[in-house]
Amino acid sequence: MPNLRVAVDVGGTFTDICIMDEDTGLIRIEKTSSTKDPIDGIMGGVGKAGIDLSSVALFSHGTTVATNALITRRLPRTAMVSTEGFRDVIEIRRANKEDLWDVYKDVVPPYVPRRDRLTVPERVDSAGQVVEALDEAKAREVARILARRGVEAIAVCFMNSYLNGTNERRMREILIEAMPDVPVSISSQVLPEIFEHERFSTTVANAALSPVVVSYTSRLGERLATEGYTRDLLLLHTGGGVMTPGSVKDYAARLAGSGIAAGAIASRHIASLCGFPNSIGLDMGGTSTDVSLAYEGQSRVTKDWFIEFGYPIRFSSIEVLTIGAGGGSLAWTDEAGSLRNGPQSAGAFPGPACYGNGNEQATNTDANVTLGRLGTSLAGGKVQLDAGLARAAVERSVGEPFSLSATAAAEAIVKVANANMSDAVRLISISRGYDPRDFALVAFGGAGALHGVDVARELAIPAVIVPPNPGVTSALGCLLVDMQHDFSENCMVEAADADPAAVEAQFARIEREALDRLTHEGVAEADIVLQRSIDMMYRGQWRSLAVSVPSSITAIAPLVADFHREHQREYNFRRDDAPVSFFRVNLKAIGVVPKAELAAHEPTGAIPEPVSRREVWFEGEGRDTPVYARADLPCGFRFAGPAIVEQVDSTVVVPPGAAAEVDRYLNIIIRVKG
């Protein structure tokens, strides 16, 4: 029987592969350079890892294909068909700007140019009644024009179709008759919600991405099948679950942001194994840092996200904040003479000054090398860093302008980077009503464990968890997810007027659709979990708050009481005397995928010897510090800072005053003091 589970996370520089043996729970990893065609990098990594695909029970993949297509605008020619008078909704947007005070910076143009946004006569009123049926003669003329233009994808976005999609469905039929090979997305299916800009924008992104991701997943599936893989390819989506290639055609935009969700899932799972239901993920790579939060074992989910400002994608997504703080982030001085760090980056090439590729400006990596926190031999000796170049860059970029020694300048660079990351953690925790002191920090990515304890001390977070393989933790996340689909429908009614039976009937209808979809994807009924929530708000508000509701609704008052409590936690105030409105009902449909357990280890009592010692600087003082090899650290081993732990994909810094222990899953748990 196939007994391997393989997860692949494709990044801009490396393709990470995580292989788990179901029988033993043991994990091994492989890293290979990413390629122009990601599939070549994936298959090359599979071959390098010696994986027999006929022995693979599950192949899960987090991809940046959709994200990159939107960022680079390398999209197929896409058209939009809308109700007469509403072709410019996606260009008018919300008439807001990312930087309110920058009058010269314009929002990027929409994904569909105006000449390819055509209209047809039709009308549905605010109650969902068809006031004017679709003008089929005009609709056929629109189909003829689009066929002649050779468009490759079409979005159909009619006003008020979220209440009644009859006209949209008929428009899709006419378009398919004229262009049977062109994918057509309709807003009443993609996102049946009020707020036309968000609905139109999501549908347009979905249509534009459909040919891109369908082609990619089809080619990858064929390559895997050729090599012996016989199961469904599972694709990680932004909501924190996986979907099959069969669902990609209709919900392609769910793959936008696929890659960053994997790290959030993995950090939540690892924290749970360590006994921390509340956790904050700090994923620091070469260019950026991704910050996520899980509370009581559940990741924070948002619908307010986008790849490019002004064009929201309103599918449910794990909330991840990304800032420009990575190993390659540049240290620089602003016009006021203050030291800054990022978001400018040296990138993979030329990279930090210590890489010796011509960059002379100091980066976070150069600062850590100068402080001795980062060794000069990385990736098992495959990467050699030049400490002299690092020190010279730090002195030139920061030391000389601020009259600081090389080590003082390096500490200043690191402190500014830590401050930036701490601010991001505050945004996702304190500003959301969570106290960081109630959480553990999971530090991963290539550079997360270098800075994790410093960030935790800044925020009084009591513990830092470093996974066994920090650099490929995102790939591990792809192994820990279930099949998942998110459904929503408007339910605009005052809570005082809401009929429990009517709300229950609405949920029951959505649940039937969810069961049909998961059953079609091969999920057994016993493995299906349905989670309900209702978006509520105080009367007069337009931003809503999702509140979990029971599987059977018999009364409205308990739901309102839960809303008041959740509003108090999120915003620190409640208005028990204010009327509450229902806005939307939501359903998360989960098809549980069997998961192999990570291998657990028993304490051996062994005390490993350091592989070396070196001078490492902490708070202006150079201290003789032991350096351990991560592979030598057994379960149960305890040690105090200062200490450095090196491994192929990361370096762990345990500063003075902190104490560390290796748990049964070989995570390093660092207890932070001070």
Walk me through the domains of the chain, giving residue ranges and CATH numbers. Answer: 4-69+214-258 (3.30.420.40), 73-209 (3.40.50), 329-416 (no CATH), 488-589 (no CATH)
When mean pLDDT is compared across 9-18, 535-544, 618-627, the lowest value belongs to 9-18
What's the pTM value of the predicted model, to 2 decimals?
0.83
Residue 7 to residues 71, 227, 475, 489, 667, Cα–Cα distance (Å): 25, 16, 6, 33, 20
The 10s digit of each residue's pLDDT in 450-503 is: 999 999 999 999 999 999 989 888 888 888 888 888 888 888 899 999 999 999
The yes-or-no verdict on residue 239 having pLDDT over 90 is no
Residue 380, pLDDT above cutoff 70: no
Whether residue 260 is predicted with pLDDT greater than 70 in this model: the reply is: yes
Which pLDDT belongs to residue 140?
97
Burial call 70-81: b when 16+ CB within 10 Å, e when fewer = beeeebbebbbb
Cis amide prior to 642 (ω within 30 degrees):
yes
Task: Tell me the pLDDT band of 372, cut-offs 50, 70 and 90.
Answer: very high
Q: Is residue 183's pLDDT more than 60?
A: yes
pLDDT in tens, 381-415: 777 899 999 999 999 999 999 999 999 999 999 99
* pLDDT value at residue 403: 96
Q: For residue 396, what is the DSSP state?
A: I
Output the CA torsion 625→629→632→633 (10° steps).
60
**How large a percentage of the chain has pLDDT more than 90?**
63
For residue 584, give the amino acid letter. R
What's the per-residue H, E or C state across 118-167?
Answer: EEECCEECCCCCEEECCCHHHHHHHHHHHHHHCCCEEEEECCCCCCCCHH
Between 622 and 262, the more confident residue is: 622
